[in-house]
Amino acid sequence: MTAALSRSRPAARAAALAAALALAACGRAGDDAVTLWHAYSGDERAALEDEAARWNRDHPERTVRLVAVPYDAFADKITSAIPNGNGPDLFVYSHDRVGDWVASGLLEPIEFWIDGDTAATWADDALAAMAYRGSLWGLPLAVKSLALYVRTDLVAAALTTTDELFAMAPGLRARGVFPLSYPVDDLYGHAAWLHGFGGQTLDADGRAAIATPEAVAAAAFARELVVREVVPRDADVALTATLFNEGKAAMAMSGPWFQGDIAGGVPWTVTTLPVVSATGRPAAPFLGAEGVLMSARARDKDAAIAVMLALAGDDAAGRRARRARQVVPNPRAYDGDLAADPVLDAFRRQLDASVAMPAVPLMRAVWTPYKNALGSVVSGASRPADALDRVASEIRTYEAP
């Protein structure tokens, strides 16, 4: 009997330990700090940590605690943690998931706290990107769109129209150089031309508007870019960086993150995308706004909105732009050296010709069919109108009945 008992004791101890661990994992931290989840790394993380430290110094009574969560798992963790009461009070994410989270009741509408004067802090488009179904769900911290990276040793004059792009192809191709590189079958890059041709992906009511004459013209344009060897046929993001660095692509369409991929010694600058000659409208890439959002389960909402306003405010935005080179949507933050920064300036100007990526959940079902269609158009396997008709009919089957 004693032997049996002593044998069972380690097991009992292990069980008790496991139970204690489970309890500790379930229990919430007892303090009143506002918890903020983010997926930043590198300079962006450092800049955010600086802001949090500054806030905590000024507001010791209601501090903010940062939790870094890996980007891959971020959206899923938010989706599952908030309804169970284990989620953060605030979190940083791009605006295109807002529609999903609003539909699931995870987000707190914040327009109650924001009046017209406060709203003037941010560029209209950036703030509008955080709105969905007539309410405001977050404050924008940074905006991301594509712009045109140019190798100044290969392209002398600034590119203003797409006709010039085609015109420079023969000369550059003779030297083995593509005028432009970007993932030609990916809707994210293609959207610049799509909007430049007057097309769209979803209409104002959030319904798919795929097989329109404008979209057909834009797809035919993409095919033309490949046929006339303006862009390489199947360049992905990594190959675009390689071609640009090796001087085999004179220009690259990419976002602020591309700066880190450019090799030292490459002479480059950033400018806005050209005007689509066929329509006279500027190519307009998707605008992604990264914002700080409030959980519907936030414990102290007054403290949470105060933290949000501080993080997205002009002072913090100026510091984040300097430290992390974020393109902040705060027009008043650009003073002194920031106003003179050519890269930030180019991305800011590109914002004027950009289209906020739809936050409607349906948008997430558009990417893959559209990519397939662009692939088959570019390779010549399908006519643009047929390919886009297929996209439209495929998306219809994914729409809620």
Partner 1 sequence: MTSTPPPRPPVRSALRDAAVAAFALWLVLFTAFVRHRNHELADRERARAQAAAAAVAAGEAPLHATSALGVVLPAEPDPRHPFLARRAVVDAAGTRALGGAEAPAADKLLYDAAARFDREGPFVGLLTDGSGRAVAAIATPRGPAIAVTAPPGSPAGLPWLMMIGLLGLGAALVTAGALSGRGALGVGAGLAVLVVPAWMWGGVALAAVAGGVAAAVAVAHGRGATERLAAGLIAHRVALSFLTPAAVAMAVLVLVPFLVGLVIGFYDHQHGTWTFVGLDNFARILSGDGRAFDDPLNFWFILGVTVLWTGANVLFHVVIGTTLALALRQPWLRARGLFRVLLIVPWAIPNYITALIWKGMFQGEYGAINSLLEGVGVGGVSWFSSWATAFAANVATNTWLGFPFMMVVALGALESIPRDLYEAAEVDGASAWQRLTQITLPHLRPALAPAVILGSIWTFNMFNVIYLVSGGKPGGSTDILVTDAYRWAFERGERYGMAAALGTIIFLILLLWTVFGTRVTRRTEEAP
Report the interface residues with partner 1, using CB under 8 A. Answer: 11, 79, 85, 99-100, 103-106, 109, 111-116, 118-119, 124, 127-128, 131, 133-136, 232-235, 239, 242-243, 248, 296-298, 301-302, 305-306, 309, 361-362, 364-365, 367-368, 372-373, 375-376, 379-381, 394, 397-398, 400
Q: In this structure, what token pair is assigned to residue 28?
A: 């919430």
- Nearest CA to 51 out of 310, 246, 229, 252 is that of 310
Work out how close the CB of 129 gets to partner 1 at its nearest, in angstroms, rounded to a whole number: 11
- Which tokens hold the place of 249? 């692509």
Q: Which is nearer to partner 1, 47 or 143 (CB)?
A: 143
Which C-beta is closer to partner 1: that of 99 or that of 199? 99
Nearest to 311 by CA among 287, 337, 329: 329
8 A C-beta contact, residue 161 and residue 274 = yes
The minimum distance between CB 113 and partner 1, in angstroms, equals 5
**Cβ nearer to partner 1, comparing 126 with 346:** 126
Nearer to partner 1 by C-beta: 266 or 309? Answer: 309
Q: Are 208 and 396 in contact (CB under 8 A)?
A: yes
Task: Dig out the tokens for 202 from the structure.
Answer: 């979803």
Q: How far is the CB of 279 from partner 1 (least distance, A)?
A: 28
In residues, how long is the chain?
401
Query: Contact 294/110 with Cβ under 8 angstroms?
Result: yes
For partner 1, the closer of residues 70 and 134 by Cβ is 134
Comparing C-alpha atoms, which of 231, 230, 195 is closest to residue 215?
195
- Report the nearest approach of partner 1 to the CB of residue 318 (Å): 21
Q: Whole-number minimum distance, CB 395 to partner 1, in Å?
A: 9
CB of 120 to partner 1, least distance (A): 8
For partner 1, give the closer residue by CB, 114 or 266.
Answer: 114
Nearest residue to 349 (alpha-carbon basis) of 357, 359, 341: 341
Q: Tell me the two tokens of residue 400.
A: 């809620």
